[in-house]
Amino acid sequence: MHERAGQPAQQDDLIDVEALLAAYTDVVPDPTDESQRVVFGTSGHRGSSLRGSFNEAHIVAISAAIAEYRAAQGIEGPLFIGSDTHPLSSPAEHTAREVLSAAGVKVLAKAGTGDEVFVPTPAVSHAILTHNRGRTADDPGRADGIVVTPSHNPPADGGFKYNPPHGGPADTDATNWIAARANELLAGGPAPAADGPAERSGGRRGVDAIPRASEDGLGGEPVGRYDFLGEYVEALGEVIDVDAIREAGVRMAAHPLGGASVAYWAAIRDRFDLDLTVLGPGVDPQWGFMHLDWDGKIRMDPSSRHVMSTVADYQPLYDLVTGNDADADRHGIVTRDGGLMNPNHYLAVAIDYLLTRRPGWAASARIGKTLVSSALIDRVVASHGRELLEVPVGFKWFVPGLSSGEVVFGGEESAGASFQRFDGSAWSTDKDGILLALLAAEIRAVTGQSPSERYRELTERFGDPAYARVDAAATPEQKGRLGGLSPDDVTDTELAGDPITAILTRASGNDAPIGGLKVQTEHAWFAARPSGTEDVMKIYAESFRGPEHLAEVQRAAQQLVQRVLG
């Protein structure tokens, strides 16, 4: 824990925006350096121009690869593109538009000139689904999209992710192909050309040979405009009971944390006449108004109590205070009576409420959660006679079910979730922090209780779990073995005094590899996963026997994993 965690940022904490933007174009990545290659994680490619990991060459290569990928998939409809408020997002979006336009892709970008030019992740997903509604899986007119965002990462970072026609995060089949092709281009491989395959084999190579159109469309398909904000806000009544919020007079405040939701919250207030205050100074590329996260960095994570110290003074003044990260795919819920809610607690409350207030949802549809989310959710779902879908970490695992209607809610422990419209059709197949924040206000309006009060009632019925995540040292070799374990590798029969009831290396909901290990007992569980960026393994644990037993579970988990890994 950094000594200044939760304290206001100071001048020395702020980035040099001019240097960051200059490095975007000036720094040329070294394709032989693994840290400077294109790597798609669970939320796209991320990096910083100052480290040579998010530069113009990366975006040119990734955009060209996406153009080739969508052509190979028979996607000829528009590509929706939006970006958040990180300084690197706007130039990266500009680069992507030039490359895609030159490749003949019909790009639809933001409309407007004020803060509405910043586009949240859920607004892009919503736009894709709206365009594709009623279209078949092989319809060439299908749309897809790109969101330029590193989500809640620090101000110096950039991010770039691709959403196929299903509207959610691309699966590994797509991202592996796109990353491989982009790295081939970075390394000087043959470049695509407007004149077709013949020219491609004629010596044009690398990123510098990739065609780019001018902003007015010269040399490519002109870029069109799309009202992301208007289309998203106008449709909110199909998924949230905004009338109930207004009629109950719920007094709420929304803090965009300097992110892309700033204009959206103002528009929601005005469109539905809500008692809603938009907090904060607006967009600041340095995020100088923020409080520091646990490690002393500026990070826009609305689920972090250190970050949300930024809104602490407002807690007594409103029924609810909500926060979103830079691309608004995460939510933070602060209640007057309980403070910042743990994301697991709010997910349980949201699911319990929705299953009593959405009669249009099919009785056979499942509730999705990641395997490191609280087991309290399992108990809540079972109490409603619903089937639980437990999947590996990553929102992409919910996308097929949300698209088809077989899943009506998908949520993960890191404060990301989405759910269906009143009629059971898909609203967003990517995480929607604005939606989950508005749901908190609906819960307050309809039940007369805060989400914190609702959570306390759930613990009285189902037990009060203690939950935590710790990081333990692990060598690269140990991390590799952890990711390839089988249940037979674990010979223990007890965990912290309780008989082991399940040992999992594949998710119970979809049989997908979890990239680690989960061990369960009647009263507790733990899951261990290797970190993708550090020499540590992440150990999640929960106990329904209280904090002391949780500590026992954590110790036993580390010992068990170390024995298995050797």
Evaluate whether 220 touches 104 at the Cβ level (below 8 Å): yes
- Catalytic one among 43, 101, 151, 309? 151
Instruction: Name residue, tokens 């030019």.
Output: 117
Within a 10 A sphere around the Cβ of 78, how many other Cβ atoms?
21
Angle at 459 between CA 416 and CA 413, to 5 degrees: 15
- State residue 203's pLDDT score: 55
Structure token digits, residue 424: 């059971």
Is there a contact between 91 and 24 (Cβ–Cβ < 8 Å)? yes
**CB–CB of 388/376 below 8 Å?**
no
User: What's the token pair of residue 328?
Assistant: 């608004």
**Confidence at residue 533, expressed as pLDDT on a 0 to 100 scale:** 64
Backbone dihedral angles phi then psi of residue 99, each to the nearest 5 degrees: -70, -45
Helix, strand, or coil (residue 410): strand
Handedness of CA 505, 342, 474, 39 (dihedral sign): positive
Please state, in angstroms and rounded to a whole number, the distance separating the CA atoms of residues 113 and 331.
26
CB atoms within 10 A of CB 268: 24
CA dist 117 and 443 (Å) reads 31
Count of H helices and E strands in the chain? 16, 22
H/E run at residue 527 = strand 524-530
Residue 328's nearest CA partner among 408, 418, 240 is 418
Confidence at residue 534, expressed as pLDDT on a 0 to 100 scale:
73
Q: pLDDT per position in the chain (566 positions), as tens?
A: 899 999 999 999 999 999 999 999 999 999 999 999 999 987 789 999 999 999 999 999 999 999 999 999 999 999 999 999 999 999 999 999 999 999 999 999 999 889 999 999 999 999 999 999 999 999 999 999 999 999 999 999 999 999 999 999 999 999 999 999 999 999 998 887 544 433 443 456 789 999 999 877 788 999 999 999 999 999 999 999 999 999 999 999 999 999 999 999 999 999 999 999 999 999 999 999 999 999 999 999 999 999 999 999 999 999 999 999 999 999 999 999 999 999 999 999 999 999 999 999 999 999 999 999 999 999 999 999 999 999 999 999 999 999 999 999 999 999 999 999 999 999 999 999 999 999 999 999 999 999 999 999 999 999 999 999 998 888 999 999 999 999 999 999 999 999 999 999 999 999 999 999 999 999 999 999 998 767 889 999 999 999 999 999 999 999 999 999 98
pTM as predicted: 0.95
Of 175, 234, 194, 186, give the one whose Cα is nearest residue 56: 186
Q: End-to-end distance of the chain based on CA atoms, in angstroms? A: 29
* Torsion sign over Cα 130, 66, 224, 283: positive
DSSP assignment of 220-288: SPPPEEE-HHHHHHHTGGGTS-HHHHHHHT--EEEE-TTSTTHHHHHHHHHHHT--EEE-S----TT-T
340 phi and psi angles, rounded to 5 deg: -70, 125
Q: What is the pLDDT of residue 199?
A: 43
Which token pair is 440?
């908190």
* DSSP per residue, 97-129: HHHHHHTT--EEEE--SSGGGS--HHHHHHHHH
Verify whether residue 151 is a known catalytic residue. Answer: yes
The Cα–Cα gap between 340 and 531 comes to 26
All domains of the chain in start order, with CATH? 15-230 (3.40.120.10), 236-462 (3.40.120.10), 466-565 (3.30.310.50)
The DSSP-derived string for 336-402 is TTTEEPPHHHHHHHHHHHHHHH-TTS-TT-EEEEETTS-THHHHHHHHTTPPEEEE-SSGGGGHHHH
Give the model's pLDDT for residue 489: 95
Within 10 A of 199 (CB to CB), how many other CB atoms are there? 15
